[in-house]
Amino acid sequence: MELFTNLWAWFSGLFVITPAWMTLGAWVAVGLTIFIFSFLYKDNPFFKIAEHLYLGAGMGWWFQVYLYSIFIPKVWDPLMAHQWGVIIPAVLGISLVTQFIPRISWMSRYGFTFMMGYGAGLAVPAGLSTDFIAQIGGTIEPLSRMASMTPFAIFNSLLVAFGVICVLFYFFFSVEHKGAVKKVSSIGIYFLMIYFGAAFGNTVMARFSLLYGRFDELYTYSGSNYFYATQVILISMVLYFVVHALANKGKKGTSEEAA
Amino acid sequence: MLKEKLEKFFKIDRRWIFLLLAIVLFAPIMKPIGLPNKTISRDAQNAYTFMDNIPAGSFVLFSLDYDPSTRPELHPQAMAMVRHAFKRDLRVGVVTFIAGSTGLISQIFAKVPGEYNKGNGTDYVIFPYQANYAAVMTQMGSDLYGIYDKDQDGRDARTLPVMKGVKNYKDMALVVDITGTSILDQWVAFVGDKFNVPVVGGVTAISQPGYGPYLQTKQLKGLLGGMKGAAEYESLIKEPGKGTSGIDSLNLAHLLVLILIMTSNIILLIIRYL
């Protein structure tokens, strides 16, 4: 293990951040961003390269995270320090892998049993208290102190309580939805629609924010200190599409357009 | 005749809309317009006020749980809140349950502490990534050092001046979780409610509406939502950053969406009644 750690330290030393590495990093970042965005025009080999690189790099990243942040500090180091107690959770963890070998896959049940018991034990009381009791209290409590509230706060509290009741009716399926029940549950749908509308509006804002983040980086890397990475790669991509279009003029399109 | 012409509007190649959107988002980055961010939401104001009223020297735990996929929204929020904590002379501890955020945390603490003359180990401490947040949150309720005996640089956490008198949640004035995941829910359930610790959140705009119930019941003391939340907090601490500069682009993009929705609806109405 020491040899492995030393080898890793030597290998990491090769990647000490220097201005040259920063510039190379900028070119890689810009290239991959533009390659991914190029799919909005149409499918192309550069997009495929970026897509596969993403998957490969992601796997590599997670492997080193599990090795260096979990396995070594949580299992290997304690074992080396003769803390034998870690063998029990380690064996339970390893038992999960046995599900890939049908003959001994029954062993994985022990690991899953432990996880389910542990997870349920943690989640059920916390969920009941935080998401159930506290929320019921939060809906009812304002109604008990209306005398000290402003007219708007009173309206707000009543609206919240009314909305909760209507939405609960909508999700109550043991009574046939007709007559008064149907009317109440229909109002519940309107409350849900308002929530979905707000959530969708926020989703649009979130997506624009992410796009802004990439564009901001593209602009940063368009400077002379990064040797005009954005402009060079963008123009190269446009040229590729022009040449590709000219070369395939008259042929039936095989590439996929943006969905 | 007019009807046919109008119907062509709905057959526009969507790539023209992508291009228009790209221009609208990119142009303000090249030439900022300076559109003001005049509204401060009640939840952002509450988050600011809570942090602002914590006595100097108190310990605040930051859980920075976001990776590059949500960086544009959450990194400015984290920068602004850490800046505010240092401005108020609060002691800062940082934990993370998302492996991808370790590099982003390094970025923040390579820059911000220097602006306020704060030192690693004396004014702030960064703990290493831990995988199982439920176990960590529960353990920290009794003894923080049972899980974080060393800081990110391998120093004994107990001996660091920044950790003086801090053993568990009772010794913390506030927990701030900035996340693109549901970890904030766990901070509220496993820590805020259970150990009676105030929790403030920073989330993506997508998740923001879902936290309304926690805000109403004060299980969350305040909340920042998306890049707008970051811009609001930057306005409150009077330190404009990436959140504020993004508002130009966001406003123009929203305007474009509104124009497109309105235009298509008007055209649809004309076609229907023509």
Per the CB < 8 Å rule, is B29 touching A202?
A: no
pLDDT on residue B151: 95
C-beta separation of B84 from B174 below 8 A: no
% of chain B exceeding 70 in pLDDT = 100
Instruction: Please tell me which of the candidates B71, B189, B216 has its beta carbon nearest to residue A130.
Output: B189
Work out the minimum CA distance from A20 to partner chain B, whole angstroms: 19
| Integer-rounded Cα radius of gyration of chain A | 29
Per the CB < 8 Å rule, is B193 touching A130?
A: yes
Chain A residues interacting with chain B (CB cutoff of 8 angstroms): 40-41, 61-62, 65, 69-70, 73, 119, 122, 126-127, 129-131, 134-135, 137-138, 160, 195, 198-199, 202-206, 208-216, 218-219, 258
pLDDT on residue B73: 95
> Is A114 a residue whose pLDDT tops 80?
yes
Per the CB < 8 Å rule, is B226 touching A195?
A: no
* pLDDT digit string (tens) for chain B, length 274 residues: 788 888 888 888 999 999 999 999 999 999 888 777 778 999 999 999 999 999 999 999 999 999 999 999 999 999 999 999 999 999 999 999 999 999 999 999 999 999 999 999 999 999 999 988 999 999 999 999 999 999 999 999 999 999 999 999 999 999 999 999 999 999 999 999 999 999 999 999 999 999 999 999 999 999 999 999 999 999 999 999 999 889 889 999 999 999 999 999 999 999 888 7
Nearest chain A residue to B23, by CA: A215
% of chain A exceeding 70 in pLDDT = 96
Per the CB < 8 Å rule, is A205 touching B250?
A: yes
**Tokens 């969920």 sit at which residue?**
A127
Contacts A93 to B, Cβ<8 Å: none
> Is A257 a residue whose pLDDT tops 70?
no
Mean pLDDT, rounded, for A8-18: 74
For residues A185 and A177, what is the distance between their CA atoms, to the nearest angstrom? 8
Q: What residues have CB less than 8 Å from B123, skipping those under 6 apart?
A: B86, B91, B92, B113, B162
Work out the minimum CA distance from A100 to partner chain B, whole angstroms: 24
Nearest to B138 by CA among A137, A125, A113: A125
pLDDT on residue A251: 77
Contacts A213 to B, Cβ<8 Å: 71-73, 246
Per the CB < 8 Å rule, is B193 touching A126?
A: yes
**Residue-wise pLDDT tens digits, B138-190:** 999 999 999 999 999 999 999 999 999 999 999 999 999 999 999 999 999 99
C-beta separation of B153 from B125 below 8 A: no
Per the CB < 8 Å rule, is B249 touching A215?
A: yes
For residues B17 and B102, what is the distance between their CA atoms, to the nearest angstrom? 37
Residues in chain B: 274
End-to-end CA distance of chain B: 11
Contacts A203 to B, Cβ<8 Å: 205-206
pTM of the model: 0.89
Work out the minimum CA distance from B87 to partner chain A, whole angstroms: 27
Q: Choose the mutation target among B73, B101, B195 for the interface with A, i.e. most A CBs under 10 Å.
A: B73
Provide the residue ranges of all domains of chain A, joining segments of one domain with +.
149-220, 228-259
Determine phi and psi for B61, rounding to 5 degrees: -100, 125
pLDDT on residue A6: 76
% of chain B exceeding 90 in pLDDT = 86
**Residue-wise pLDDT tens digits, A58-103:** 999 999 989 988 899 889 999 999 999 999 999 999 999 999 999 9
Per the CB < 8 Å rule, is B227 touching A212?
A: yes
Vertex A197 angle, CA A192 and A202, to 5°: 125
Work out the minimum CA distance from B161 to partner chain A, whole angstroms: 25
For residues A167 and A165, what is the distance between their CA atoms, to the nearest angstrom? 6
For residues B260 and B16, what is the distance between their CA atoms, to the nearest angstrom? 12
For residues A214 and B142, what is the distance between their CA atoms, to the nearest angstrom? 42
Per the CB < 8 Å rule, is B73 touching A213?
A: yes
Query: CB pairs below 8 Å between A and B: how many?
Result: 117
pLDDT on residue A176: 87
